[in-house]
Structure 1
Amino acid sequence: MKNENETSSADFILLGFLSRTSVHMFPMAMILLGFIIALSGNALLMLLIQVDSSLHTPMYFFLRQLAFMDICQTLIIIPQMLADFLIPGNPISPAGCGAQIFLVLTMGASECLLLTVMAYDRYIAICNPLQYPILMSGNICFLLSAGVWMGASVNALIHTVFTLALPYCGSKEIDHFFCEVPALLKLSCSDTSRYETLVFVTVIVVLLIPFSIILATYTCILYRVLSMKSTKGQQKALATCSSQFTVVVMFYGAATFMYLRPSSYHSPEQDKIVSLFYTIVPPVLNPLIYSLRNRDVLHALRKWIEKCRDLQQDGQKL
């Protein structure tokens, strides 16, 4: 009878981000801290947007979805990473690996498309403010959001099916901290050149085209902002757009670098570091960038804290 603790030959083994040594305890502690910041920061951002009526605008409608994507991405990757660090050689089934591929790609592609929609929203708000209520109505925002999720899910499903359909007849050790397509391609014993062509096309559609649209959009915004007569208006517009563009460059740059290279040019150490910059770092930075550099969010936070304080004082009086 097969031992229950024995790893199935069909299972994959994630080697993790770092080996379990005292030297690597500090980086893992920092990742754990980032995990806490990402969850609490994005959850707080979603809460503020929900409870404060002044934030019920298209911009914050999309920002709340970005926060939700970041929470999901964090929960998909970091707990598994920490488990692999604490329990080396922890197996993951093909179904679990496929689920992780699907969810990571769904959240990643959704963020790519959503950042494009958010750039379009800022373009309309700054360059065509009179038409903003019409062009960014509630129905249009809902359709844009549905398109983002649907497109990302279909893209993720295609790559998940193709990746899991490849034959893996050699080592099942994935030298990565989560199931990622480039890492799995290196384990396949078949010719993956055709699939790499599909990946290349996907990168153009999901990454390069949206990034080009964002770049063109922010160029138009910058031109319009610099022509403003109001210094206060310039500062507010530049603060909003510069924070968004910082996230965009980091996220798109790292993801493009990862998926645009042929599998022969990938190295495990390099891939792990690059993956951090589009899977873990953005969920940590996004709530900080969109809250600390956003006066509306800070004002909503102050109002919420004051309201909680007043409720506590009223409770103590009773």
Structure 2
Amino acid sequence: MVKQPIFLEPVFKERIWGGDRLHRLFGYHIPSEQTGECWAISAHSNGESIVKSGRFEGKSLSYLWEHHQELFGNRTEAKFPLLTKILDAKNDLSVQVHPDDHYASKVENGEPGKTECWYVIDCEPGAEIIIGHQAKTKQKFVEMIETGQWNKLLSRLKVQKGDFFYVPSGTIHAIGAGVLILETQQSSDITYRVYDYDRVDPDGRTRKLHLDKAIEVSNIPHPDNATAPLVNVYEGASIVTFVRANYFSVYKWEIQTSLSYEVTEDFLICSVIEGCGELKTGAGTYPFQKGDHFLLSNQIGRVEVEGKITVIVSHP
């Protein structure tokens, strides 16, 4: 039985739109001041999390999934199903869309599709996201893309700290400059770019667009995917349920003093976005702080969390 939390080492990705807030706000050692992505909990081959300490120190998350399924409720998926990221958008991300499982299985060598969701950790005043579009028919959608009517086509929303957005596959979307988000998603690295503001890289090259695929997989018209958070208040803490959907459920643990929680899910993915505290299990006491990411196995049973902490928690 594994009663300890499994702390994981993130992987960092430089991006043309990235910045340095992952270092400034979380203290991470990032590769440059254009670091856009922290792959916090990942078993994807493009960036694997490694266990920091304990019995499985030095092992990859995919190794645990393949060789210690008992930690994860003996689920049947071939690969670890989720990926948690923190994204620092110093500049606008490209306007993009992701395919669903059916399309990806046919076109992307067995890679799954990508449904995701965003929790806004922080943002600059006036920051925006793009989510959805105004075209009512595929013909109009294609026409507005071909004629560059981006301001008319794309739906923009102002955001603020604490906002949550559910972004199913097929949703046209983009994270705007000045937004720092935690993203929970299917474990997939497929992105179809629709528009990239005619940007060029340091060598003067534009980034590749994927218009044919994007047009094929986009939801037209754009459906309303808004979710209604459900808040449960306890003595010393509250738990906000943001979404319970096909691929994941996502929560926010807002702990003022303490929270007692029985892990009945197959496993929990936890990302500490504010504060510090201690996690107590049958095996001992484990300190943690802002920027830590860990797994709680279903073997752990009841956990006691103490401190003033905000944690984004998810499970398949």
State the TM-score, normalized to the length of structure 2: 0.24
Higher relative contact order (CA 8 A, sep 6+): 1
State the TM-score, normalized to the length of structure 1: 0.24
Structure with greater strand percent: 2
Which of the pair has more CA radius of gyration? 1
